Amino acid sequence: MFLVTGGTGNVGANVVRELLDAGEEVRVLSREPGDRSFPDGVEAVPGDLTRPESLPAALSGVERAFLMSPAFAGVGGFLGAARRAGLRHVVVLSSASVLAETAGFVGEQHQRLDAVEEITGRQAFTYAQWAAHRAAAFDPAMV
């Protein structure tokens, strides 16, 4: 079972569709799940990243999660709850802005997500590491 946060937005809605198309079970975390319509097969559950007490029920039975956190609110609380729930994988939406010489506000916020490994106790890869890996697949001299 996948839990998708931000499943009502542009990126999250596409993640939900792709997971469903791949035959995965999908649960979407939403502050107001009754106010939205979701594709058939999606389980919508109430929860709010900024209210960690709302997360254990949403994480029950979940093995993997896609974390999209606007303004990065609640990331630490979510990752702590995910660790306690025993999630195997958490994918965090990041940004290429972390690669910029001067990251700016958005890049700095994404760089804070480098703490995922520390918070979860599991191996994590930053966007910069992933981008370097992808670049090496095309041209090893780029790394």
CB 137 within 8 Å of CB 107: no
Q: Can you identify the CATH homologous superfamily of domain 2-142?
A: NAD(P)-binding Rossmann-like Domain (3.40.50.720)
For tokens 């569709």, name the residue. Answer: 17
| Sign for the pseudo-dihedral over CA of 49, 75, 23, 88 | negative
Segments making up each domain of the chain, as ranges: 2-142
CA 17: distance to chain centroid?
A: 15
The pLDDT tens digits of the residues spanning 12-22 come to: 898 999 999 99
Instruction: Flag residues of the chain having pLDDT under 70.
Output: 69-73, 94-100, 103, 106, 109-143
